[in-house]
A and B are shown apart, each in its own frame.
Chain A
Amino acid sequence: MMIDLKTIKHISKLSRISVDEKKAQKLRVDLNSIFEFIEKLNELKTDNVQPLTSVAETTLKLRPDEVHSHNLRDEIIRNSPEDNKDFFVVPKVVE
């Protein structure tokens, strides 16, 4: 199956990565060659196979309901590209 330019642009949008025409073209070529080799999987019949999500063959451990993390505001906001000491700041969101 060939991936077309329109799909590349749509997926880039979903990925929040901007692409111009040139970049989209290159991605299209790369992805098509990658998917050509991925398509090899179609040779296999897997109708009755259970999907494997994790190799860790155990179940989720539960932690007690205790508050350990306290006010880390300064620590957390220290690395942010733009902040006003109390909040993370982003360009205006238009709903």
Chain B
Amino acid sequence: MNSITSQSLTTLVKNIKNKKLSSQEVTKAFIERSEKSKDLNAYITEDYANALSKAKKFDQNPNFDLKIPGIPIAVKDLFCTYNVKTTAGSKILSNFVPTYESTVTQNIWNEGGILLGKLNCDEFAMGSSNETSFFGNVKNPIDKDLVPGGSSGGSAAAISGHLTPITIGTDTGGSIRQPASFTGTVGLKPTYGSCSRYGIVAFASSLDQAGPMAQSVEDCALLQEIISTYDPKDSTSIDFKRNSLSKELTREIKGKKIGIPKEYRVDGMPVEIEKLWQKGIEYAKDCGAEIIDISLPHTKYALPTYYIVAPAEASSNLARYDGVKYGFRSKGENLIDMYEKTRSDGFGEEVQRRIIIGTYVLSSGYYDAYYLKAQKVRKLIKNDFDHAYKKVDAIITPSTPSSAFKIGEKTNDPVSMYLNDIFTVPVNLAGLPAISIPAGHDTKGYPLGLQIIGKAFQEQELLNIAYALEEKINFKNKVNDWWIK
């Protein structure tokens, strides 16, 4: 590995500010590595030429007051980027070039970031393995036969494979944390309302949040600090006091109360995961935290609730892809025929399945039984957390019920695929912040993650706990660059 691409974001920023490295040197290094990494299929769109010219421009007139001066960054292809194709991993948007920029990416460019390219993801972020992408599946840098997780699979592969110093994903039911866990990286899903949804291709509006994916908690804190802003263009964006997360980051978590929910001990959970969780608890104790057993009694209802709420919102959010204003269109004899052919040819199987589930649960006669019921259970799930947070400051759980699975292993069984998100989904339903940090390996040598769930808007405290545990765990990712010949 090149000495530049192995550096963390924080180190690269330091080296650029100290003029030990130029933006062009850094940008070139990541482009070269990305070029050699085509086998991972992490990118949908490369923007290397523009990246180099922006780096050159930066070096000619550098501004070292910026938080990430001249740092190249590849982002999930769910963020609309000005004049750069944005596909959401779908055929239906395969030719779509936005004339606008998402707030989150704009925040990154404002602080000196430079777009490297757009990263692969499950189609419209619907998937847990990156296998639903129209642009093909992504391979996990850990092992060529493994999925990188999803939906931010391209982002996870790119950060784990050092194709970008840092990246962003989106998380609706675990799409940042699960792939972070599968690739031995750090992924943060912020509190709902923390990062603007403006310009992000919507999946399920009441659950979607953008967040950073990084090599370390420190890098994660720095990017989160940049992307989280109040945005009047998003009615669900929340105006709260935002910390200088990276500056205030500390490993001092003595006396913090950490909850362990018994309901996360699910049937059939591998012993390795159980052990990992126990290890995490011990580390937390070592850091001076107090461990408290808690109960989140409605946990088992989270997944069924999610698979009503998310498809319902998606069925409506994806109605705009009708072949009229932008994107792919099939020929049709009349308007309705055109709609049906466009959406049937333009959306992949999983997206169509979820649209149909969503339409069904909202349709006349079923609304109360499914959608309304799910909203009520969602309330109970949130109440569980509200109740727990009267006693604890944070909660620790495993990130996923298993390590990364093999490509193709679960594609024919949607329910087993959905079960992957069992630990991550409740957090989205309750709108809370949560981070996945790599915490160990299973017997096959695949990484496993621990999830720390925080109180709403307490990203600082969440990151501090993760920062303290990260040091104790001292995780080393086993990436052997198998894809580079």
Chains A and B share a contact (CB less than 8 Å): yes
Say yes or no: B360 contacts A90, CB within 8 Å.
no
Overall SS of chain B's interface: helix
Query: Is the CB–CB distance between B380 and A14 below 8 Å?
Result: no
Q: Which of A22-65 contact B (CB under 8 A)?
A: 27, 30-31, 33-34, 37-42, 44, 46, 49-56, 58, 60-61, 63
A-side contacts of B341, CB under 8 Å? 18
Q: How far is the CA of A59 from the CA of B45 in the complex (A)?
A: 38
Report which of A18, A30, A61 forms a contact with B353, defined as CB distance below 8 A: A30
Are the C-beta atoms of A34 and B301 separated by less than 8 Å? no
CA distance A88 to B325 in the complex (A): 7
Task: Name the contact of A17 in the complex, choosing from B352, B377, B456 (C-beta under 8 A).
Answer: B352
State A40–B299 Cα separation when bound (angstroms).
Answer: 12
Give the docked Cα–Cα distance between A63 and B235 (Å). 10
Residues of the A chain whose Cβ atoms lie less than 8 Å from the Cβ of B29: none
Complex alpha-carbon distance, A43 and B36, angstroms: 53
Q: Is the CB of B375 within 8 A of A18?
A: no
- Interface flag for A93 (CB, 8 Å): yes
Does B335 have its Cβ within 8 Å of any Cβ on chain A? yes
Contacting pair A81 B380 (CB below 8 A): no
Docked Cα-Cα span, A44 to B91, in Å, equals 40
Q: Taking the complex as formed, is B415 at the interface, i.e. its CB lies under 8 A from any CB of chain A?
A: yes
Would you call B336 an interface residue if the criterion is a C-beta within 8 Å of the partner chain's C-beta atoms? yes
In whole angstroms, how far apart are the Cα atoms of A16 and B344 in the complex? 8
Interface residues of chain A, those whose CB is within 8 Å of chain B, are: 3, 7-8, 11-12, 14-19, 27, 30-31, 33-34, 37-42, 44, 46, 49-56, 58, 60-61, 63, 72, 75-76, 78-82, 88, 90-94
Residues of B within 8 A of A (CB): 95-97, 99, 192-193, 206, 232, 235-236, 238, 298, 300-301, 303-305, 307-308, 315, 319, 322-329, 332-341, 343-344, 347, 352-353, 355-357, 359-360, 363, 370, 372-380, 382, 414-415, 418, 429-431, 456
